[in-house]
């Protein structure tokens, strides 16, 4: 997808609207993972170094009540951005009006401000998330050019991405969005082969279209995590009390038929009788499961099997953990996949957003993977082969 990027603009003296994805986790007023802020720094530094006047904005969570506003302010995010940039970030605690307009008019070349959570506009009829035309037009009026660097919301048509792009001539991708298009789009449309897809997570229903699309594109599709038990049930195995979707068993049968020779399922598992972080009661094939037991992770033989399939790959896309990696005793499968990707030579390795991205970062593999996506739902929809509205709205080269 040949879209213009921030490199295609003359930025000096321009008011540059920058949509970022700073939807970061905050607990007790503290940011617990600043990866999305860190990933936006190259674009922001480039704009400021070129003499642009950066007007930065993002959503943060969902805002449904006045009470939500207290915990969903971007003030703490602007403070972390200031630390990472090493320069003042003026925070404007509103989403529209004279205070914001005056602050923007006072900006000088190379200066940056950030305004309040765009979702505050959802308190008045979901104006932001329903792409209210008047709101998109208003925000567009605040700048000369628009840079979208928020891949995490690119699968949604909101006032802060599609709404602005519809009302401003120069709408381009930032470096992060460009990177996401290059790696995820490239993996799906023109992968180096062999191309191996690894899918995990809890539900088949979340990834039906992804599996269908990747069965067409990939050479192998590895399935682990909670979704594997629906496939095992479809093969007639007793899976005990393991997580599965009864209404997706027929679909799983159809996918297994369609993906003959391509779909690879786990061959052994870590069994337990309670959903809690205690050592597995035993490890073995699914036929070893006892009454009342469940599996919370893949076993060592599965890891060997998966690693063997991954070893010769030239492109690997991974979306979804292999087990309940939040528990110390059930993270071996997810860590093992991280290691298999880290050990690849001359391969493009891409980790989709959400839990698998969090795991790769948490376990220290961030620097050994080609690209870790910042978008959960967006990366999934891209893997499905869908057109993302936030990308489609940008100016073509």
pLDDT in tens, the chain (397 residues): 589 999 999 999 999 999 999 999 998 889 998 989 999 999 999 999 999 999 999 999 999 888 888 889 999 999 999 999 999 999 999 999 999 999 999 999 999 999 999 999 998 788 999 999 999 999 999 999 999 999 989 999 999 999 999 999 999 999 999 998 888 888 888 899 999 999 998 888 888 888 998 999 999 999 999 999 999 999 999 999 999 999 999 999 999 999 988 999 999 999 999 999 999 999 999 999 999 999 999 999 999 999 999 999 999 999 999 999 999 999 999 999 999 999 999 999 999 867 898 899 999 999 999 999 888 788 888 888 888 999 999 998 8
- Cα 287 to Cα 277: distance, rounded to the nearest angstrom: 23
Q: For residue 303, give its domain range.
A: 183-383
Which of 172, 195, 216 marks a domain boundary?
172
Which of 110, 142, 172 marks a domain boundary?
172
In-domain check, residue 360: yes
Distances (CA, A) of 291 to 217, 238, 240, 286: 39, 9, 6, 12
pLDDT at 337: 97
The number of folded domains in the chain is 2
In-domain check, residue 396: no
If asked whether residues 274 and 373 sit together in one domain, one would say: yes
Q: Are 199 and 370 in contact (CB under 8 A)?
A: no
If asked whether residues 165 and 87 sit together in one domain, one would say: yes
The pair phi, psi for residue 343, each rounded to 5°, is -85, -5
pLDDT at 186: 83
If asked whether residues 199 and 62 sit together in one domain, one would say: no
Query: Which runs of consecutive H residues, i.e. helices, occur in 86-238?
Result: 98-105, 133-141, 164-165, 175-180, 186-189, 208-217, 228-234
Which of 138, 172, 206 marks a domain boundary?
172
In-domain check, residue 1: no
In-domain check, residue 394: no
Q: Are 319 and 222 in contact (CB under 8 A)?
A: no
Which residues are the active-site residues? Answer: 36, 203, 354, 377
pLDDT at 214: 92
The model's pTM is 0.85
- Cα 99 to Cα 214: distance, rounded to the nearest angstrom: 49
Please provide the size of the chain in residues. 397
If asked whether residues 218 and 120 sit together in one domain, one would say: no
In-domain check, residue 177: no
If asked whether residues 279 and 312 sit together in one domain, one would say: yes
Radius of gyration for the alpha carbons in the chain, expressed in angstroms and rounded: 23
If asked whether residues 69 and 193 sit together in one domain, one would say: no
């Amino acid at each position: 997808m040949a879209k213009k990027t921030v490199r295609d603009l003359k930025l000096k003296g321009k008011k540059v609207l920058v949509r970022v994805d700073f939807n970061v986790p905050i607990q007790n007023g503290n940011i617990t993972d600043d990866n999305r802020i860190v990933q936006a720094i190259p674009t922001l530094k480039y704009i400021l170094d070129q003499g642009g006047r950066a007007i930065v904005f993002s959503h943060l969570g969902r805002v449904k009540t006045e009470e939500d506003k207290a915990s969903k302010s971007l003030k703490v995010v602007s403070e972390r951005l200031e630390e990472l940039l090493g320069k003042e970030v003026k925070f404007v605690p509103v989403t529209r009006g004279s205070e914001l307009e005056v602050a923007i008019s006072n900006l000088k070349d190379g200066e940056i401000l950030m305004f309040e959570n765009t979702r505050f506009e959802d308190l008045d009829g979901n104006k932001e998330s329903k792409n209210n035309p008047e709101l998109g037009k208003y925000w567009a009026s605040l700048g000369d050019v628009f840079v979208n660097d928020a891949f995490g919301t690119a699968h949604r048509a909101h006032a802060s991405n599609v709404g602005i792009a519809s009302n401003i001539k120069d709408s381009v991708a930032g470096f992060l969005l460009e990177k996401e298009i290059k790696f995820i789009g490239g993996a799906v449309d023109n992968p180096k082969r062999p191309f191996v897809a690894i899918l995990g997570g809890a539900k088949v229903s979340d990834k039906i279209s992804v599996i269908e699309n990747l069965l067409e594109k990939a050479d192998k599709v590895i399935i682990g995590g909670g979704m594997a038990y629906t496939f095992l049930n479809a093969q007639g195995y007793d899976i005990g009390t393991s997580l599965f979707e009864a209404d997706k068993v027929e679909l799983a049968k159809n996918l297994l038929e369609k993906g003959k020779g391509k779909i690879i399922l786990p061959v052994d598992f870590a069994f337990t009788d309670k959903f809690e972080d205690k050592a597995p009661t035993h490890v073995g094939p699914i036929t070893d499961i006892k009454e009342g037991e469940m599996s919370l992770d893949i076993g060592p033989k599965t890891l060997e099997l998966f690693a063997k399939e991954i070893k010769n790959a030239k492109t690997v896309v991974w979306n979804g953990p292999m087990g309940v990696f939040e528990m110390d005793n059930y993270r071996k499968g997810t860590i093992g996949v991280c290691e298999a990707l880290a050990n690849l030579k001359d391969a493009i390795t891409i980790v989709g957003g959400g839990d698998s991205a969090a795991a790769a970062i948490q376990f220290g593999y961030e620097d050994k993977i080609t690209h870790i996506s910042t978008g959960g739902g967006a990366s999934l929809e891209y893997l499905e082969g869908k057109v993302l509205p936030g990308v489609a709205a940008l100016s073509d080269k």
